[in-house]
Structure 1
């Protein structure tokens, strides 16, 4: 096998068709660019920029994950409301088991309750020296419905996910706030940050060279799928959720098969879950003030402002106007998708 292959060619290769050493060689040939969020580089894999260190995890996830019809997968581009969505969906699905006084959210970060498939479950704990072998997790003991999350764009999801009846809840956020939130998250440790200024990051973001980008391709892949298969993909806007959390929580519950009863609604259960999972409530929990869910990033780093329109405090009006114009004219034209930029 010729070791110099494009990411598209690599996408067609089954993991079982080449050994570990060959995999290392092939992965080393993927196009790379400067990374952020403490990552040394990003590799262009199947048309999206993937953190180089987790490409083996992604391949293992694609190859070995077997979706169940009852699975619920939460998908998003980083810094789009992922943590909030995890808390909400976990609480919706498990509301018959837990109350606000004994919910696992009190002692566990939302990312621990709804684990990432590529960062956590298929993480390379078993990588050997000079090898890309990845430990395949046993997920058979997880009770149904199983809750997972991913940052991978829709086209790169495993076929078992696409072909099963499992449901996908996708959350997006306007690109200006994503840029600002990503910048703050990625530069919180200045000793590790590879970015010198926000303008540099904006330029890379616009080129699509950000983790799991291009942003536009990521969002549109789920948007179009939600239009074609509304029973398969629920598409949420972060800004809509902030504007009317109760309505969106009800919408999520119905989609995932856990619709609220009239008695629950009249009893305030929907509002109770919405308030319990609010940024303020989660941020005030001791478990989210200390400790680390992922290396290099403290739990508290996942809870900053969480508002709509914070970009006005960090991006010039002229730059924001150019980005919004380009978004509407070059990226989203004809798609029917729009973003809200202010609260």
Structure 2
């Protein structure tokens, strides 16, 4: 495959001489498609992606009203972007409006990635297209990669987490579609091995998840932790929680008039995938249609062996328990419980969890070390 046909962030043609020197000193790995990755600040990146991360870290100037949508790849990013666009713009763009932005552009075109799009080539990009307030960005970076850049900023971050087994299968099929190759069992096996070793794009998964989880209970006013499975199971409750966090709660009149239902219908994967704009067109050399598949919870059971599922469960349990957290293996998704008297947005959002070691009452410092 011609490298020019690959997404720009996967390639290695936009890295500076300084970054090349840095890369030469970093741990390296080659993925199942033969693309090179390096480990920087505990996270694995493709070379061009690392350049974008470095550009972001040195050049991004946060505004107080900024909103950043964060996720591990293939964890519900597209859906989260669509929902957020619809939530923030509902006063001027009704869900049934023929002028709604989601009818004319893919969610990834509306909400660009900081390290993949905005800061991909420069630490001082032209931000004229982000004159509206609030500015809306997205990222796959772990929270600790942004902590210095966002230090003391009151901007808000929404993170969505997904069952790792479903994420793996979605990543496998998405990568094969991008590279235009058959999604073979051997490729899945190779990705599974990299996932378990943590040597996968934006991995290790558990470090990524924990950075945002810890951020969410250290500073719940500025970091919201959401679960894809909960969003699917109780969409009304979760979208209202999302809206409340962003400071644009639904009014009683909106709820009674069906605004919540209309937004959920507009942003459903079924509807988004049927829109003409998502049947054609590309973003970052990726066909819009490739961002939509089933989106089902538990679909990984149709692809992974019992041994693979058990190993993922075991690894997640081990990694999270070693970090003073626990895992709910019934759902295959992290049910995290920090060993502090803090609110767990996954289990009991409004009740304190009993603590053996009460945490001192202090004013939280935004984005302090989270992993």
TM-score range, shorter chain: 0.7 to 0.9
Residues in 2 aligned to 1:153 and 1:219: alpha-carbon distance in whole angstroms: 8
SS state at 1:44 partner: strand
Matched, 1:299 2:295: no
Once structures 1 and 2 are overlaid, which stretch shifts more, 140-149 or 203-212?
140-149
CA contact (8 A) 2:60 2:123 kept: no
Gaps of 5+ in 1: 1-19, 125-133
The alpha carbon displacement at 1:191 in A equals 5.0
Out of 85, 88, 96, the residue aligned to residue 80 of structure 2 is 85
Q: 2:103 aligns with which of 106, 125, 133?
A: 106
Displacement of 1:223? 0.4
Equivalent of residue 40 in structure 2, options 24, 45, 48: 45
How far apart in 1 are the matches of 2:76 and 2:34?
21
Q: How does 1:61-210 map to 2 (within 5 A)?
A: 61-100=56-95, 101=97, 102-124=99-121, 134=122, 136-139=124-127, 141-189=130-178, 196-210=186-200
The 1-side partners of 2:109 and 2:18 are apart by: 33
Q: Is the 8 A contact 1:39 1:51 kept in 2?
A: no
Find the aligned partners of 1:23 and 1:306 in 2 and give their Cα distance: 37
Match of 1:26 among 22, 27, 32: 22
Q: Per-residue displacement from partner, 1:192-229 (whole Å, max 9, x unpaired)?
A: 68984311210110111111110000001100110111
237, 240, 251: which one aligns with 2:241: 251
2: CA distance, partners of 1:148 / 1:82: 12
Q: Is the 8 A contact 2:83 2:264 kept in 1?
A: yes
Cα distance, 1:41–1:253 mapped onto 2, change above 3 Å: same
Aligned length: 313
The verdict on how the C-alpha distance between 1:163 and 1:135 changes in structure 2, with shifts beyond 3 A counting, is closer
Q: Where does 1:289-328 land on structure 2 (aligned, <5 Å)?
A: 289-295=279-285, 297-328=286-317
Is 1:214 matched with 2:210?
no
TM-score (norm 2): 0.79
Q: Deviation above 6 Å: which 4+ runs of structure 1?
A: none
**Contact map agreement 1:84 1:279 (CA 8 A) in 2:** yes
- Counterpart Cα distance in 2 of 1:209 and 1:276: 36
Runs of at least 5 residues in structure 2 that lack an aligned partner in the other structure? 1-15, 334-371
CA-atom RMSD in angstroms: 2.1
**Inter-CA distance 197–328: structure 2 relative to 1 (3 Å threshold):** same
1:7 aligned residue: none
Report deviation, 1:182: 0.5
